[in-house]
């Protein structure tokens, strides 16, 4: 029997128009000395000046026990909406979902935790939310803390945890609640490689007893390596369902072809190709050159912009704009022009030094100017989205748009001796 069945699922939102619909002038009441405007009485039915937006439509699939199902798609494709419906955070507009057993979700870093409570108290609170008795939760606490490697920080309020510590605690709590269905968003990409491997080993062990996992990520290499099956969502509909290697290849090829055609925030937008060059991909790499889904703050990471040179003998200069919550944080510029000698692939690497980023999510826009006969530019907005996370320590969460470790000095000045007051 399937552990999860999704039947014709849909979620509809109403989007108000930017330009208000033309409305008749408001009626007024003449008081003699002044006119009092009368309130408009809303008519039943849909308000004017807007339209329906289907974040998810006609989604139908089933998942058997022990399956690790990956869900991929561009930003705004409906991935998070699907998980929120399955987690019963959002009600669907149509269709139905049926599942067997306990559902546990990891949709947001630190969700369900009280920042002023200790790890011990948060574990008890999460257990109560999942219907687990206090006695049983107390028996599981040592195992939870051991897996999360937080034995030395049990009594610390979780507001003092780094994002990496948050993640370890959240995952350890979730997996030790013995779920039958685990919903995981990009949060699993936040963490060092060793911890990610431990997570996947534990998930594989739990899958043998029938655990079903739905994993949403933009890290295609991780999805292809870890998942047994992949569903590809596009504009709220299921565009593909099949083997990981096949789905990832089709998705990446389609994303590259249509990368500059969407005009919605969160989508890849801009003219990403001209007569001289084309932006083929933008990736986040670690110091060894391997692709990663999130940036460890304490380590150097690199953004690689891969260009396909369609001709030879033209010069290149480029910019990367880093945004956090739609606000420009900083821009980095290629100082010296690069001259291509022939057709082929050109990789531009931008080093992000350690201890610069804050523990937040970033979006990168890429602009490359090519000069052949005249200078033209190629642009790929929202080319890369990633989260920066902290490692071990009891340091405070690094807030803000950036959190560089600057040099501090302190100077102690001896008190100036008090001069005797003059006697008049």
pLDDT tens profile 110-144: 567 888 888 889 889 888 887 788 888 888 899 88
In a domain, 401, yes or no: no
How confident is the model at residue 17, as a pLDDT?
A: 63
In a domain, 42, yes or no: no
Same domain, 217 and 328: no
In a domain, 284, yes or no: yes
How confident is the model at residue 164, as a pLDDT?
A: 76
Tally of structural domains, the chain: 2
184: containing domain: 53-257
Same domain, 144 and 238: yes
Same domain, 301 and 356: yes
Alpha-carbon Rg for the chain in angstroms: 27
Report pTM: 0.63
In a domain, 14, yes or no: no
Angle, vertex CA 83, rays to CA 77 and CA 87, nearest 5:
160
Strands 375-389 and 294-296: parallel
Same domain, 175 and 318: no
Q: For residue 264, count CB atoms less than 10 angstroms from its CB and return exposed for 0-12, middle for 13-18, buried for 19 or more.
A: exposed
Same domain, 96 and 58: yes
Same domain, 110 and 212: yes
Tokens of 178: 């013995």
Task: Tell me how far apart the alpha carbons of residues 277 and 307 are, in angstroms, rounded to a whole number.
Answer: 6
Task: Tell me how far apart the alpha carbons of residues 248 and 220 are, in angstroms, rounded to a whole number.
Answer: 7
Same domain, 249 and 282: no
Same domain, 152 and 186: yes
Same domain, 248 and 328: no
In a domain, 198, yes or no: yes
Contact 285, 302 (CB under 8 A): yes
Task: Tell me how far apart the alpha carbons of residues 321 and 47 are, in angstroms, rounded to a whole number.
Answer: 38
Same domain, 233 and 343: no
Task: Tell me how far apart the alpha carbons of residues 58 and 48 are, in angstroms, rounded to a whole number.
Answer: 26
Same domain, 226 and 113: yes
Same domain, 69 and 98: yes
How confident is the model at residue 192, as a pLDDT?
A: 62
In a domain, 39, yes or no: no
CATH number of the domain encompassing residue 238: 3.40.50.300
How confident is the model at residue 71, as a pLDDT?
A: 92
Which residue bears the tokens 């249509």?
258
Residues of the chain with pLDDT under 70: 16-26, 40-50, 108-111, 186-193, 255-272, 391-397, 416-424
How confident is the model at residue 6, as a pLDDT?
A: 92
How confident is the model at residue 11, as a pLDDT?
A: 92
């Amino acid at each position: 029997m399937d552990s999860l069945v999704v039947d014709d699922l849909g979620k509809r939102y109403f989007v108000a128009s930017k330009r208000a619909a033309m409305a008749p002038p408001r009626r007024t009441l003449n008081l003699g000395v002044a006119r009092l405007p009368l309130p408009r009485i809303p008519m039943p039915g849909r308000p004017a000046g807007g339209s329906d937006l289907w974040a998810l439509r006609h989604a139908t699939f089933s998942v058997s026990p022990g399956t690790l199902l990956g869900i991929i798609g561009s930003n705004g494709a409906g991935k998070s909406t699907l998980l929120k419906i399955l987690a019963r955070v959002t009600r669907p507009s149509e269709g139905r979902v049926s599942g067997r057993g306990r559902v546990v979700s990891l949709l947001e870093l630190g969700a369900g935790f009280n920042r002023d409570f200790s790890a011990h108290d948060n574990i008890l609170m999460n257990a109560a939310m999942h219907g687990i008795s206090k006695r049983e939760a107390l028996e599981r606490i040592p195992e939870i803390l051991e897996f999360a490697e937080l034995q030395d920080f049990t009594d610390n309020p979780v507001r003092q945890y780094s994002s990496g510590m948050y993640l370890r605690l959240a995952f350890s709590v979730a997996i030790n609640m013995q779920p039958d269905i685990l919903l995981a968003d990009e949060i699993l990409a936040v963490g060092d490689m060793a911890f990610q491997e431990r997570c996947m080993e534990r998930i594989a062990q739990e899958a043998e007893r029938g655990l079903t996992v739905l994993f949403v990520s933009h890290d295609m290499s991780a999805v292809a390596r870890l998942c047994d099956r992949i569903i590809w969502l596009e504009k709220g509909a299921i565009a593909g369902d099949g083997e990981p290697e096949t789905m990832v290849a089709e998705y990446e090829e389609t994303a590259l072809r249509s990368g500059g055609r969407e005009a919605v925030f969160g989508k890849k937008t801009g003219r990403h190709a001209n007569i001289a060059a084309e932006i083929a991909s933008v990736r986040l790499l670690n110091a060894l050159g391997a692709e990663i889904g999130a940036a460890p703050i304490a380590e150097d990471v690199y953004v690689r912009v891969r260009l396909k040179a369609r001709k030879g003998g033209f010069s290149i200069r480029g910019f990367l704009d880093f945004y956090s919550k739609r606000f420009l944080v900083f821009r980095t510029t290629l100082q010296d022009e690069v001259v291509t000698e022939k057709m082929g692939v050109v990789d531009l690497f931008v080093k992000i030094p350690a201890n610069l980023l804050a523990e937040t999510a970033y979006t990168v826009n890429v602009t490359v100017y090519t000069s052949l006969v005249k200078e033209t530019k190629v642009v790929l907005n929202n080319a890369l989205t990633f989260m920066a996370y902290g490692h071990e320590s009891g340091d405070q969460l690094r807030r803000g748009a950036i959190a560089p470790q600057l040099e501090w000095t302190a100077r102690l000045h001896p008190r100036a001796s008090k001069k005797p007051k003059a006697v008049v």
